[in-house]
Amino acid sequence: MSNRFTKLLTAAVLIGTPATALATPRTLPSGAPACGNTMGKGGYGDDCTAEERAAWRAERLRQRNLEIQHERARRAAAKQRELAKAAAEAKQTFVQLVSAVLPPRVKTGS
């Protein structure tokens, strides 16, 4: 292929590509930055800097921590609802037992 043909092909591809696709960085399916050749690099390209990898790892760790905190809060709220329901049932049972054992109150006229 000639150099001119390559330039024309590149221009045609760029014209047909949305600007947002050109502006966004490439990423791998795992979300890691796709820097250059990614074959056999453990998910990273050969021209990724340590800072890029560290930033990606830190963001993934932050997201995972947020997910864990959210799940813990959800479980705590569910446990609290379960305990409140059990307390209400216990109170109702206690009232029924007491009313069955004790004679009904008689109101005295005043």
- The per-residue pLDDT for range 51-64, each reduced to its tens digit, is 888 888 899 999 99
Tell me the residue range of the domain where 48 lies: 25-97
Task: Assess if residue 8 is contained within a domain.
Answer: no
Task: Assess if residue 106 is contained within a domain.
Answer: no
Task: Assess if residue 12 is contained within a domain.
Answer: no
Phi and psi at 57, nearest 5°, equal: -65, -40
* Alpha carbon distance 59, 43 (integer Å): 16
- 34 half-sphere exposure, CB direction, 13 A CA radius: 9
Task: Assess if residue 83 is contained within a domain.
Answer: yes
Mean pLDDT within 10-31:
61
Task: Assess if residue 61 is contained within a domain.
Answer: yes
Task: Assess if residue 4 is contained within a domain.
Answer: no
15 band by pLDDT with thresholds 50, 70 and 90? low
Is the separation of the CB atoms in 34 and 26 below 8 Å?
A: yes
How high is the pLDDT of residue 75?
Answer: 97
Residue with tokens 């790892």: 57
| pLDDT beyond 80 at 82 | yes
Task: Assess if residue 11 is contained within a domain.
Answer: no
The model's pTM: 0.47
Task: Assess if residue 103 is contained within a domain.
Answer: no
Is the separation of the CB atoms in 32 and 49 below 8 Å?
A: no
How high is the pLDDT of residue 9?
Answer: 67
DSSP H helix total and E strand total for the chain:
3, 0
